[in-house]
């Protein structure tokens, strides 16, 4: 049977050539007659993997001098607390833009340790848009954004004007999907399991000069300076997740880098959204100007036809498009490794569906 058209929101699709190399390494890595799962993280073979993964992130995103790249554990959920520990001063406060479930979780963590200013929120309309025209407190220790919202299908297209307030971004679901100017950010963090690799590691791109200034006593596992000093090896790193991430980063570089994949991601998004807008049996759930290129959310205009549509896309070997319970309907995740041809299969099903029922 051919590989399914995988629209899962995460863990998500990986390039087939990456999966092949990763599977070979499980049996015999670097001709060591050992599995990648068995080697020491202190061995020269794995140190070379770590060094290459960090170097590829720097190359693909043109990371400027003065920044460090880390591969850590804990996912973005640990990152929510890591942000607070490393950037919120004692008796200071953090500013947040609330655009969805992950923003709310980041805000919840911050409230446990200090003052939080929510500068704007789209919760009033179930996160179907990105707030605009808000003011960021000039005395905030940092301003935190979530660049893409997997559940609700919105994405920040423009950066806010934030003056001298450090900018921190959770990029978990659109990391490496489009060009960014890393110098605009003081911290970027992202779980690997959307565009970079399997679940198990989180990348941090850290502006070094801002660390160590909070006055807090930071638990060692949450202290970014310690992890930088130990080169992501303070504790045993998630070896396999980093190895597969390295392979995916190399795949991205070999095919043309971030500029190449950004064009393809735009083609995928345009193809699907054009069908959603043209097809009378579907409608999008977010305002058009804030639509995500990573997670397209849509619903049926006639719920009585749901069972039939579900049978049609399942018969086409499509998986992972059921919407989150907070939105309902459908969600097609268009991450880097998803080919344009898979989006075309979904669009063809939608066209056949409307032809059948109109």
Work out how many domains the chain is built from and give that number.
2
Active-site residue, selected from the candidate residues 141, 174, 186, 194: 194
Identify whether residues 277 and 248 lie together within a single domain.
no
Q: In the chain, what are the helix, strand and coil shares in percent, each to the nearest 5?
A: 40, 15, 40
CA dist 183 and 213 (Å) reads 20
44 C-beta neighbours (distance < 10 Å), count? 9
Q: What is the pLDDT of residue 315?
A: 97
Q: Quick one: pLDDT band at residue 175, thresholds 50, 70, 90?
A: very high
pLDDT digits (tens, 9 = 90+) for 116-150: 999 999 999 999 999 999 999 999 999 999 999 99
Of 255, 285, 303, the last residue of a domain is 255
CATH number of the domain to which 37 belongs: 3.40.640.10
Per the annotation, the verdict on 251 as an active-site residue is no
Q: Is residue 56 part of a domain?
A: yes
pTM attached to this predicted model: 0.97
Distance separating alpha carbons of residues 173 and 9, to the nearest angstrom: 9
Q: Does one domain contain both 159 and 216?
A: yes
Per-residue confidence (pLDDT) for residue 1, from 0 to 100: 47
Residues 322, 213 share a domain: no
Task: Return the bridge partners of 142, or none.
Answer: 94
Q: Which helix (H) or strand (E) holds 282?
A: strand 282-284
Indicate whether 187 and 287 sit together in one domain. Answer: no
Query: 320 lies in which domain range?
Result: 257-357
Of 255, 270, 289, the residue at which a domain comes to its end is 255
- Residue 194 is among the residues annotated as catalytic for this protein: yes
Q: Is the same domain home to 155 and 262?
A: no
- How many CB atoms are located within 10 Å of the residue 114 CB? 17
pLDDT for the residue numbered 161: 86
Closest CA relative to residue 176, chosen from 78, 57, 52: 57
Q: Are strands 202-207 and 142-146 parallel, antiparallel or unpaired?
A: unpaired
Annotated active-site residue in 141, 170, 223, 290: 170
Claim to verify: residue 245 and residue 276 sit in the same structural domain: no
Tokens 């807090």 sit on residue:
216
Co-location of 127 and 269 in the same domain: no
Domain closes at, from 220, 255, 290: 255
Q: In which band, very low, low, confident or very high, does the pLDDT at 233 lie, cut at 50, 70 and 90?
A: very high
57: in domain: yes
Asked about 170 being catalytic, the answer comes back as yes
Point out the catalytic residue in the list 102, 141, 290, 313. Answer: 102
Q: What is the CATH number of the domain that holds 326?
A: 3.90.1150.10
């Amino acid at each position: 049977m051919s590989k399914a058209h995988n629209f899962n929101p995460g863990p998500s699709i990986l390039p087939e050539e990456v999966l092949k190399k990763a599977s070979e390494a499980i049996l015999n890595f670097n001709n060591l007659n050992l599995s990648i799962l068995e080697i020491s993280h202190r061995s020269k073979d794995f140190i070379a993997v770590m060094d290459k993964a960090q170097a590829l992130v720097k190359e693909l995103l043109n990371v400027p001098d003065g920044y460090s790249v880390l591969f850590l554990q804990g996912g973005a959920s640990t990152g929510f607390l890591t942000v607070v520990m490393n950037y919120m001063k004692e008796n200071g406060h953090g500013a947040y833009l609330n655009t969805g479930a992950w923003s709310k979780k980041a805000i919840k963590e911050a409230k446990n340790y200090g003052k939080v200013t929510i500068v704007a929120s789209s919760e009033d309309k179930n996160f179907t848009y990105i707030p605009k025209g808000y003011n960021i407190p000039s005395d905030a220790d940092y301003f935190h954004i979530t660049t893409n919202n997997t559940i609700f299908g919105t994405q920040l297209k423009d950066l806010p004007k934030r003056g001298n307030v450090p900018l921190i971004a959770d990029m978990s679901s659109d990391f490496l999907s489009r060009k960014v100017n890393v110098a605009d950010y003081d911290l970027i963090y992202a779980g690997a399991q959307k565009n970079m690799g399997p679940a198990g590691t989180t990348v941090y791109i850290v502006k070094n000069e801002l660390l160590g200034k909070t006055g807090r006593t930071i638990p060692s596992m949450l202290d970014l300076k310690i992890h930088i000093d130990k080169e992501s090896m303070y504790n045993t790193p998630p070896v396999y997740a980093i190895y597969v991430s390295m392979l995916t980063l190399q795949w991205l570089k070999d095919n043309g880098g971030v500029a190449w994949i950004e064009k393809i991601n735009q083609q995928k998004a345009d193809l699907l959204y054009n069908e959603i807008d043209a097809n009378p049996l579907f409608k999008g759930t977010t305002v058009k100007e804030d639509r995500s290129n990573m997670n397209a959310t849509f619903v049926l205009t006639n719920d009585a036809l749901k069972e039939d549509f579900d049978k049609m896309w399942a018969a086409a070997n499509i998986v992972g498009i059921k919407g989150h319970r907070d939105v309902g309907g459908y969600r097609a995740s268009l991450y880097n490794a998803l080919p344009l041809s898979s989006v075309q299969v979904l669009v063809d099903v939608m066209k056949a569906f409307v032809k059948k029922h109109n």
